[in-house]
Structure 1
């Protein structure tokens, strides 16, 4: 009996040591795609786009899961795997990273800044708020390092889930369900609707290149805890994070449908202004006493993304500059390059916000489009890594899971072709 109890405690302790990268993935995922895109989906189309959200999350699921699976099985991250596959996969990932990292950092920061001013009302400009938020994120990551990020995201994602769920319960209690269900939704086959659906799916819940971030975080977690996660532990941790991100996306869509659908309100295409309109409309519908809850939930939604993105891109650059070895000297060089990246990337992102604010929508569209077009390629690379001779047979996906993955890959390819048709001909 004592042996059984000891084994149970050891198993629980082992699982807790591996828990964390999934929360970081959730924090990175829950951002503009959730607060703006999911809410707008509900606000403009009611509940009819729930199936789009489900398909988007389902089709990306296996390829994002392959990141922590590969890291747990090999002890390496996906960048090393791409290099083993050849020059093309490796450079495709580099182009995607360089083409999107400054724009994504700038986008999530400026929206977080707008929500910070909406919450605290200090009269500061979005640029000043962006600078302050980035300084705080950098300080936390430099001082707290990975353990500080890990603990922060567990608290943030847990609180965010509870706050958003509370907002949905309040929305159902406001008696708007019948109106949301009875209001006719607009056609999904117009050029505008197809364009929105494509953008909605592109970053919902997160682009596939985030699988690389997750594999790096999984490896870093193992290094920090001196515990190598098993495939089962990495799979469970991933599910907690990914399903949380997908569930919160669904909650924001439901909120948009219950509170905004059929309201006749014209929403701004500017993410910062949209976020302010969002909070104000919630207050009018649910009661102004609910405004602080919605404001805090919205602010934390974007803050979680800003924090994880501020960490993710410097880690990726550091790994690209320092191929994986077991040398202590290499680890010191990685940390040095990470510290350089954590200042340079936010600085250049602030320059984008300062000098190119007029072209910001174009830049966002470019980053979204690049993520969308690259999705089938990265999905295929990840599939090759976990089904080839890079992993032991017992660590590879089952036959049924492989079939599911190939179906998802086919759907991602179809979505990409539809996106290209939309861009070129509509």
Structure 2
């Protein structure tokens, strides 16, 4: 009974985990282990540590005010909301195309039967149908099953990998700060544990959870849910680094820069090294990881664009939220359906025209995510300080960490931009 109550109390935090564990974990964390062994553990630590406050502000703001971060951005000025729309439009199609093609590649590798683009169509159709039929509630239930299954399979896989280690593990940390090494570090930071705009998605999911939860989804419950998802996501990142380090590092294999090919290489190498049983577990973990990211992105990107669209087109009507916060928190269905269709069609166009260059597109998207992170960090910080009552604001420790986090983001953005010239 206690476990059932615990699972019922969770939701947006697990959706956050589902969106986060895709490219950042399966592709970048595993590749970090494959290329550097355990040498980039420091990067996983600092990225998750310094980004924590800005992701936490999403559910905090939603629970305390009954409105999303997007409405908060509008309070700071329409230009802030327009900037968010511009950033999202610049990356949404590439992001959705990238995560879908990796998922499709894994499906084709594991199950066979169809051409790659047919698998893309199947996945987008299945995910869209689930979202249209079940809406938020189905996504909520589905993600609980996916994250629990993923965690169990990943634990089994890491245990198998560690049990086959014969040589001492080298924990020496590495700091690649030039050339392709720096490019990889910035891309990894951009999506570790996730792009910063996931804080916006989380605030929207928190409002949906609040609307669909008897007894409400108050600040305490919302932050507990977030911390479960965030800490779980961080732990899974270490597991995926370990997978790459224990099996792929110093294996002599030339790893592809393309996420889909890299994922298949990961499975093949596990089959060769540890046997078909381990290969099955890795394959299923990889597929479940990417499927969770595909469906959560397919929900969150249209949901955030629909909400922003509604706020920009009907700003005056949104003032009713002081009188009826629940009604004001809903995203208009017609806008959601429209943006879902735009995202699916746009992703298919990207894949048909630029499939051979997806690795470059993904690197560009992750780099842009990191370069735009200071915007989201500062905007979220201002919102919780300006519009939340003192009792619902973050602690002094979190506020101090926010300043260190903003400094960290600007420093590494500066290093990356300096390296381009």
Tell me the TM-score normalised to structure 2 length.
0.92
Q: Any idea what the Cα deviations from partners look like across 1:323-370, whole Å, max 9, x if unmatched?
A: 344589988871122122222211110111012223433322332222
Q: Which residue is 2:403 aligned to?
A: 406
- Please give the per-residue CA displacement for 1:239-283, whole angstroms capped at 9, x wherever unaligned: 111111111111000111111111111101121111111001011
Tell me the equivalent position of 1:49. Answer: 40
Secondary structure of the equivalent of 1:356?
helix
| 3-state DSSP of counterpart to 1:266 | coil
Q: Which moved more, 1:246-255 or 1:193-202?
A: 193-202
The CA distance in 1 between the partners of 2:8 and 2:391, in whole Å, is 23
CA deviations 1:123-175 (Å, max 9, x no partner) are x2221101100100011111111110000000001110111111000001112
Matching residue of 1:351: 349
In structure 1, what is the Cα distance between the partners aligned to 2:142 and 2:331?
A: 26
Deviation of the 1:188 alpha carbon:
2.4
Q: 2:52 aligns with which of 40, 47, 61?
A: 61
Distance 1:332 1:289 in 2: 46
Provide the aligned length of Structure 1 versus Structure 2.
410
2:304 to 301, 316, 330: 316
Give me the whole-angstrom Cα distance separating, in 1, the residues matched to 2:214 and 2:177. 53
Match status 1:276 vs 2:267 = no
Matched position secondary structure for 2:194: coil
Matching residue of 2:367: 369
Distance 1:386 1:36, change over 3 A: same
C-alpha change, 1:384 and 1:412, in structure 2 (3 Å) is same
Q: Where does residue 170 of structure 1 map in the other structure?
A: 160
Equivalent-residue separation in structure 2 for 1:59 and 1:329 (angstroms): 34
Match of 1:181 in 2: 170
Which residue in the other structure is 2:90 paired with?
99
- 1:5 is matched with none
CA distance 1:402–1:135, change in 2 (3 Å): same
Unaligned runs of 5+ in 1: 1-7
Is 1:223 the counterpart of 2:211? The answer is yes
Report the Cα distance in structure 1 between the residues aligned to 2:405 and 2:221, rounded to whole angstroms: 24
Separation of aligned partners in 1, 2:331 and 2:160: 51
CA separation of 1:329 and 1:220: change in aligned 2, threshold 3 A:
closer
State the Cα distance separating 1:291 from its structure 2 match: 1.3
**Could you tell me whether the CA contact under 8 Å between 2:39 and 2:174 is conserved in 1?**
no
Displacement of 1:19 after TM fit?
Answer: 1.8
Q: Does the aligned pair in 2 maintain the 1:46–1:185 contact within 8 Å?
A: no
Give the one of 75, 81, 86 matched to 2:77: 86
Q: Deviations over 1:31-87 (max 9, x none)?
A: 011111111101111111001111111111110000000000000000000000113
Report if aligned partners of 2:67, 2:329 keep a CA contact under 8 Å in 1.
no
Q: How does 1:197-208 map to 2 (within 5 A)?
A: 197-208=185-196
Do the aligned partners of 1:26 and 1:242 also contact (CA within 8 Å) in 2? yes
Matches within 5 A, 1:10-409: 18-122=9-113, 124-176=114-166, 178=168, 180-181=169-170, 188-323=176-311, 324=318, 325=320, 334-388=332-386, 390-409=387-406
Inter-partner Cα distance in structure 1 for 2:357 and 2:257: 14
Distance in structure 1 (CA, Å) of the matches to 2:230 and 2:10: 13
| Aligned-pair CA distance for 1:232 | 1.5
2:373–2:409: 8 Å Cα contact kept in structure 1? yes
The offset of 1:199, in angstroms, is 1.2
Do 1:33 and 1:205's aligned partners in 2 also have CA atoms closer than 8 Å? yes
Q: CA deviation at 1:401?
A: 1.6
**Unpaired stretches in structure 2, ≥5 consecutive residues:** 312-317
Offset, 1:187: 6.7
Q: Distance in 2 between matches of 1:333 and 1:196?
A: 36
* Contact persistence 1:310–1:342 (CA under 8 A): yes
